[in-house]
Structure 1
Amino acid sequence: DVNTSFLMEEFAHSLPDHWGIDPTKPVQPPTGGRLPMAGSVGPKAGPNWLVVGDAAGAVNPFNGEGIDYAYETGRLAAGLIAEAAARGEDAVLARYPDLLDEEYGLYFKVARLFAKVIGNPTLIRELTRVGMHSQPLMEWALRVMANLLRDEDRGAAEAAYSAIAGMVRLVPDRLIAS
């Protein structure tokens, strides 16, 4: 498990002095609840129901964003529900978990591994130090982490993600638990 409050504290300690941020004097303590990320919730479908959005764990582990995923999973579920109703076959709904995995599985797996890696305080400190001084690195990292990768006009972000995803595909799922 990644403790995001701890990561925030470590991140604050890694910021450049000239930013004037004193990590020992936060404006307020961290607040918030746990979000089910990366498809970590199950089951996602039953004999006559489907879950979408946060209920399906459709939250981006890179950044906690879930609104787009709620919309996308809602549309996917609505399409299957319409198909099931038109055919009079609730069994159509059983395809939903596989469709979610096709759409988000690899990206969420990459993000879960990233979350585990940045859980190491020394590593997050070094990544922050290097990243803050490299605009191109931060630009492609933002595109990857926000899932703003382009199918056309592929650039450094897409190439980096493709290489990382290719390696992550080889890692057994059990080593990157949700």
Structure 2
Amino acid sequence: RRALKAGFDVIEIHSAHGYLLHSFVSPLSNRREDEYGGSAENRARLLWQAAEAIREQWPADKPLFTRISSSDWHPDGLTVEDWEPVVAGLQERGVDLLDCSSGGITDQKIDMAPGFQVPFAALIRRTCGIPTCAVGLITTPEYADAIIHNGDADLVALGREFLRHPQWPLDAARVLGQDVDWPRQYVEGK
């Protein structure tokens, strides 16, 4: 309700990077023997309950995203395939898009390269039939555009690149031949 009152357009549930909801979903950290442990469905129960509670307050016409760790990067951890029943439950509870990141439970050495997590978004999009967001060292406008045009994801999110290059959106518009509709009060600063 507060997010709605504050004027937000999207809510994203954070179930990644070792935080609480991810720690319930991952078999690496969830050793419970009650209704919140064991099977993938039981481990997803808290995440599903959170999504359901949020969707009850968040209007159906406003997007609800969930960020997941698609892989724990560990042989005994989550894989993309493990997410199929979890994603089905999220869709039933009104989640509109999965933001596909990875890692966070263990200190595995991950071979990070531009777009290293894009295959997670592509596979989940294809196998689970839900829109996805690709993340992970996506640094150029051309690559971000290609991810969308190739059907690997429906959305691309950048974080570190905006820290390094705050003018990235303007440069991306220029590189991709898009006009920017500047708010009148900012025209003098162009």
Please say whether Structure 1 and Structure 2 have the same fold, judged by a TM-score greater than 0.5: no
User: Larger helix proportion, structure 1 or 2?
Assistant: 1
TM-score bucket (shorter structure): under 0.3
Output the TM-score relative to the length of structure 2. 0.23
Structure with bigger strand share is 2
Task: Report the TM-score when normalising by structure 1.
Answer: 0.24
More relative contact order, 1 or 2 (CA 8 Å, 6+ apart): 1
